[in-house]
Structures are given as structure tokens and as C-alpha cells.
Amino acid sequence: MLHPLHTDIPAPERFTYPFCYEPHPLCQLAAKEVQQELQRMTLTEGKMFGVLVVEAPDTKQYFLAAYSGLLEGRNDWPYFVPPVYDAQQPDGHFKQEERLISSMRDDSQREERRQRSQQLQLWLFDQYRLMNAHGERRRLVDVWQDYHCSARIRRKYPLPPGGTGDCCAPKLLQYAYSQGLRPLCMAEFWWGPSPKTEVRQHGQFYPACRGKCKPVLTWMLQGLNVDPNPEEAFGQPRLDITVVYEDNHLIIINKPSGLLSVPGRVGNYSVATILSQRYPGALLAHRLDMGTSGLMVAAKSRDVYRHLQQQFSDHTIAKRYVALLDTSLHNSQFTMHNAPLGDVRRRFACEECTLPQKGTISLPLLCDPINRPRQVVDYERGKPAVTDYEILTPPSTLLPPHSTLHAPLRIALYPHTGRTHQLRMHCAHPDGLSCPIVGDELYGRPADRLYLHADRLELTHPVTGERMTFEQPAPF
């Protein structure tokens, strides 16, 4: 489980901040070795894998590898670190009780089944005693409840979600601490086909999930010198807005990429705060993602604001976006090594984009509660989300500035609904266009910006009743 690293690459001064990071070269090297091992395995599912570079007592550098949850139904694969607690032993208490609960199928046993299930989950949580770099141990439930100090949050989530503590990062750190190894840096990557509900790109690095892992890692990283949160450490650039149109009732502005629409967790500087300073009482009628640039409308009075909100609710405000799509990931699926013939898997490869010239995407979206702000496709609980699209130009060899991507596809997007990350998910999801927007760090891969721009906005003036159209060409 302790794999040597043969390299002269120096170790970082501080440990990785796991929720927003660029993989250290040592982690990239370790990940390549893990991926070579994965190529030799017979796998039938996509999975998140992690690497942790450590210093041993002999001062040499090694790396550890882990996978989240179970891999092919097992948690005992050689080469990878063990789970924090092994609940899969056939003769262990957890499996014996699980079998007993599964056998209770009569309606008269429903309440007993529920109670025994809750008791078993509590028992399982109690087996997770998480360590930190000080050598201290704490029960998982205590770690969870101490992190969520808000009474409202604790009432809503009194216990951790199932599977908490089984992700890559807790496994890696727990093993390192238990073996006297000093953690140096860490990274996680996805390997294999994307899940049906969410979007994961094969071979791409990802941050640790916030829902399950943020409380756990906040405890487990104590005692390490950790990088500051880059989103907070560097602050927000003081970008400015451009007024495209203004009268006594409303304002149309052009927002640059990298500026928040409203104050958020990464800062308070936003379009809304700029407007409030320049136009006291102005109300922003809708939002764009931080990375999205383009046209937005604000009201100078509450009556005008309500009128605009009603137009958005009635879908009478027409919007058009222009985006560049990463065609190198189009229709990409994964061929597992030694997969049987006829298995529905295809090799990841750059393929010619064969999307219809025009079409409609309808994928219901729901916020992933354990990994905000990511969205998932959920046909049972998701909110309807519909987008028309039109290909503007075929893939070309012209590259966005500073981009290493090839053959971006220019496309127009016409949303009928306004769900969070709707356009980004509809482009990236395999059941949508299967082409993430260039620079989409959540659903694709990073670039110098998110190549999505709101270039046209059509609305009815709340006071004059005039139908008005505004256009702002994309800066790419």
C-alpha cells in the first residue's frame, strides 16, 4: 500500500486545501501510476480515486491510493488503503444484522425493521474514530455535530449521511496517521464512465465533496499546515460593469466573467453591490453565474422589479447565450480493460462532433445536497429544465485565448427555464449535448474563463409596454 515515488520534485511547503486546488506535480505523478494500475484491472464502473503523497520516517517520499466507497462491491483491493472501518466482513455484526433486517418483510415487522435500521446505522457511525495530525481520535458523529454548530442545521442533519468517512480523503489520511506517515499533498480524480445523474469527466481532478467531507476533513487536517482557501486568500478582482441602456425605470448592464451577480460565499463584491452604490434602491431582476458574462436587467423601483419578475415567471423574457463547447469530450465513454465483448462501453477518444444542427434538451435538475453547488439530473424529484440550442459554427481550429483545447464548437443556447447551472449541465451531461462548455471547472475542465456569454435579452418595458431587444457580442 506504500508506493515509492522516484522523483526529484520537491515537496510543497503546505498541505493541499482539498476543496479548491491545483494538483501538485507530485500528486500528478502519483495519479499517473495509479491510472496505470487501473488499466490492468477489470472494472465495470466509474469511481473517484485519490492519491496522498507522504513522507515516511526514513524521510523518503511515497504515495498512498484510495477509492471512494466500494469498488466493484469490494473494499479490500490490494494496492489501495483499507477503509476507516470494514463493514463488509460477512460474519461481522453489521452484515449479520443487515441480513436479519432484510429478512423482515411482513407489514407487522415494519416498525421493528425501521428501529433496527436506525440502531444499526448509529452503531456503524460509532465504529468510525477519525484521527487528525495531532494523533487525536474522535467519533464521527461528534465531529459532524461539532462542525454544524447552527441549531437549524443540526436539526435538519442530526447525523451524517450514509457513506460519510468512506470517501478517498478520509481513508488516505486515516491510514497515513495510523502508520506514522506525514501527509505532504493530496488530489482526487475520476476514472471511468460518468454516473447517470451527475457529470464526471474521465481522468479529471476534482475537489473533495463539501457535504460529506468538509466536516470530516476540517477535523482530520488539524495539526497540518494547510494551504489557505484560494477563493478567500486572493480575494475578488474589482471588475466593473458596463451600462448598455438606462432610463428612469430600468438598467441593462453587461457583466464581465469573474464577477458575482450577488454576494456569495467567496465574497461580497458583486453586480448587486455595485448597483446599490450607483443606483440606491436598484434591484437585480435575475442572476448569471460568476463565470458567465453578458446582459442583465435591474429595476429602479420595486414596482418595476415585480413586473420584470412576472415576465421571468411567465417566460416572456427571451434570452440567448453563446458558448464554446469542448468537443474533445463529445460522446466520450470509457472502455474498461478486458471488458467482455458486447458490453455497452466505448473508449474515451476525440470523436467528430455529430450533433444535430438544432434541437431541444429537457433534463430535470436538482441541487446535489452533499456537493453544492453541483447539480444532478433527477427524473423523479428534479425541476423541469428546457433549453433549445443551435450550432452556429462547426468545430474549428481557432482556439480561445490561452486555451490548450482544440476544435471548440460555437453554439447558441435559448433557455426556457432558469435553473441553476442549467446551460452548463445541459451541455455537459451525456443525455444532453455531452460537450461541456470550455472552462467549466465543475462539469468539464478549467480554462482561463467560462466561455458562456448572455449576448441577447428581449423584454417588455414595464412602464411603456414597448418590446425591447438588447445585444452585446460575446468577447470570444
Q: Which three three-digit cell numbers place residue 96? A: 449479520
Q: How far is CA 450 from CA 189, 293, 400, in A?
A: 21, 8, 11
- Beta-sheet pairing, 467-471 with 452-460: antiparallel
| Catalytic site includes residue 289 | yes
Q: How far apart, in whole angstroms, are the C-alpha atoms of residue 238 and residue 330?
A: 36
CB-based contact 23:205 (threshold 8 Å): yes
Count of residues in the chain = 476
Residue 132 and residue 222 in contact, taking contact as beta carbons nearer than 8 Å: yes
Distance CA 185, CA 348 (A): 28
For residues 169 and 159, give the distance between their C-alpha atoms in angstroms, rounded to a whole number.
Answer: 20
* Active-site option among 289, 326, 440, 455: 289
DSSP 8-class letter at 443: T
Q: Environment class of residue 428 by beta-carbon count within 10 Å: exposed (0-12), middle (13-18) or buried (19+)? A: buried
DSSP 141-175: HHHHHHH---HHHHHH-SSPPTTTT-SHHHHHHHH
Provide φ and ψ at 303, rounded to 5°: -65, -45
The alpha carbon of 227 is separated from its chain's Cα centroid by a whole number of angstroms, namely 20
Contact 410, 397 (CB under 8 A): no
Task: In whole angstroms, give the CA distance from residue 192 to residue 332.
Answer: 10
Cell (9 digits) for 385: 429544465
In angstroms, what CA-CA distances link 109 with 117, 122, 190, 416? 12, 20, 41, 48
C-alpha distance from residue 467 to each of 253, 296, 418, 460 (Å): 18, 16, 21, 4
CB 320 within 8 A of CB 413: yes
Q: Which residues contact 170 (CB under 8 A, 6 or more apart)?
A: 84, 130, 213, 216, 217, 220
**CB-CB neighbours of 95 under 10 Å:** 13
Q: Quote the radius of gyration of the chain (alpha carbons, Å).
A: 25
* Residues with a known catalytic role: 289
